[in-house]
A and B are shown apart, each in its own frame.
Chain A
Amino acid sequence: MNFQFVLDNLAALTVTGLTQGSIYALVALGYTLVYGVLRLINFAHSEVFMIGTFTTTIIWAALGFGVGAAAPSTLGVLGLILAAVLAAGAASGATALVVERVAYRPLRKRNAPPLIFLISAIGASVALMEAAGAITNRQPRGMPSLVFPKVQFSIFGADVTNLQLGIIFSALLMWVGLDTFINRSRLGRGVRAVAQNPEVAALMGVNKDRVIMLIFILGGAMAGAASVLYDVKVGLTTYSVGFLIGIKAFTAAVLGGIGNLRGALLGGLLLGVVENYGAGVFGNQWMDVVAFLVLVVVLLFRPNGLLGESLGRARA
């Protein structure tokens, strides 16, 4: 155990943690939206993220930036990232929608019990992952180096790079956009209404099926955006990339209070930071253990997560 190391590098670990946590938070939004409305753990969401990572490589390659290509100008990089966000967001959103149509809707029509949904979700997850595995021959796929980290400024002794700033900032931006949409717009109100009381929402004229489609698309798009950030940061993806990130993101969602958008953000960032501290203290290999232990401890004291459950309900 190495507490001294963590104390010495607290700021640096916090920044890397926030960067990782931003990606968790974006993926967690998808879990939280679906859970908030359907009370269903969308196990296949991790694969929705995975599809996004591959879409990014494909779109870049299509634009002439395959593996090893030299990075274009700053403006070009931004353009590439934007294109990837759009493409990956669309692909992930579409994947999520297909999962909903194929794996969940028939069950909803039959009013199946929750456990059955879970099994169908597992099935969708396995099928998507293995299909990607078969197509890519289970080989990792790299992407061009687009962003070269440069230290922008130092805060409390931590060097903050442009990459880290970009990731955290983009994630926050996406989150603010989603939060505004859910809390301010008419459709968003419909989503919250279905989450809080689906029956009464129907009495208000809310089409539940449409709301469900909407949340799958929104959650998928968020995962797609997260996958672009992941690709820029890591530069490599495989067919099984979603599994661990999915579990972490779901943990983050539960940590913050599942069904709660603010909780997803808080949970994601917190999980990223805490597991980095934990990795600093106990060693990298214990990172996941720390993450899960934090979850258990939080749930024991706050059984509904840090910010409580329920979509759009800002209560403690």
Chain B
Amino acid sequence: MLLELKDVSLAYGRIVALHGISLTVDEGEIVALIGANGAGKSTTMRAVSGLRPVLKGSISFDGQDITKMRADLRVIRGVSQSPEGRGIFPGMSVRENLEMGAYTRRNRPEIDKDLERVFGLFPRLKEREKQSGGTMSGGEQQMLAVGRALMSRPKLLLLDEPSMGLAPMLIQQIFDIIVEINQQGTTVLLVEQNAQQALSRAHRAYVLETGRIVKEGTGAELLHDPAVKDAYLGVA
């Protein structure tokens, strides 16, 4: 088991956003978290990457308890997140953004190799290497965010809404790349609003509602679950 959350609760101020979430991600999996806006998907991600202190419960990664570990140290352990809203550094060029992804690494040849790998996955980024991150279109920024997260050579890649704001063509593309990354050996935990896409690509998925996990199963099971259809498609 690569990642395990046990009974994790988390609050913003006095508002409890997660009520005891427990989930696991195995090595080599793509696991999706789906649910409505405000259900706690992104909050779960923030708990895993360490951006938010948890109130209760524990998180272990790769056999180690990381509940109280600082976010930057988790990156060194192999957790890398492409945050919600992409979080591109607007004042840095595309290349600098990618270099930021490799901030914790020192081995120059390896980094250069990974740069080539990312440019291979996203040829668009190669074209825009010198452009500043803030001036890129939404789709390009999304590619950059994913590429940047890959630059740290993560064991676990956290993707928060990778399809947000993308045209259907691009959504296809980005999910293809996610699968490709996964096949190259990176475990993926995915938060997605586009339930259809997410469930059809994921090995397993959890459904969140108001800070609780209400359902879990394989992607295919959930994709055909009438309750899920009802919640997401508005059709019973």
Contact = CB atoms under 8 A, between A and B. Distances in A.
Interface of A: 186, 189-190, 192-193, 196-197, 199-208, 310-315
B152 interface: yes
In the complex, the 8 A-B pairs of residues with the closest C-beta atoms, listed nearest first: A313-B91, A205-B75, A200-B87, A205-B104, A202-B71, A196-B89, A205-B72, A204-B103
B83 A196 contact: no
A37 to B, nearest CB: 13
B92 A196 contact: yes
B91 A189 contact: no
Nearest to B145: A200
A202 B89 contact: no
Interface of B: 49-51, 70-73, 75-76, 80-81, 83, 87, 89-92, 96, 99-101, 103-104, 132, 134, 148, 152
Contacts of B101: 204
B80 A196 contact: no
B83 A203 contact: yes
B49 A203 contact: yes
25 contacts: A186-B99, A186-B103, A189-B100, A190-B100, A192-B92, A193-B89, A193-B92, A193-B100, A196-B92, A197-B89, A199-B51, A203-B71, A203-B75, A204-B100, A204-B103, A204-B148, A204-B152, A205-B76, A206-B72, A207-B72, A208-B72, A313-B90, A313-B91, A315-B91, A315-B132
A204 B83 contact: no
A1 B109 CA distance: 65
B92 A189 contact: yes
A297 B133 CA distance: 32
Contact of A190 (B70, B76, B103): B103
Contacts of B71: 202-203
Nearest to B148: A204
B98 to A, nearest CB: 10
A199 B51 CA distance: 7
Nearest to A200: B87
B152 A205 contact: yes
B90 to A, nearest CB: 6
Contacts of B75: 202-205
B159 to A, nearest CB: 12
Interface centre among A190, A201, A205, A310 (most CB of B within 10 A): A205
Contacts of B49: 203
Contacts of B51: 199, 202-203
Nearest to A207: B72
Given A203-B81, A205-B103, A192 B89 contact: yes
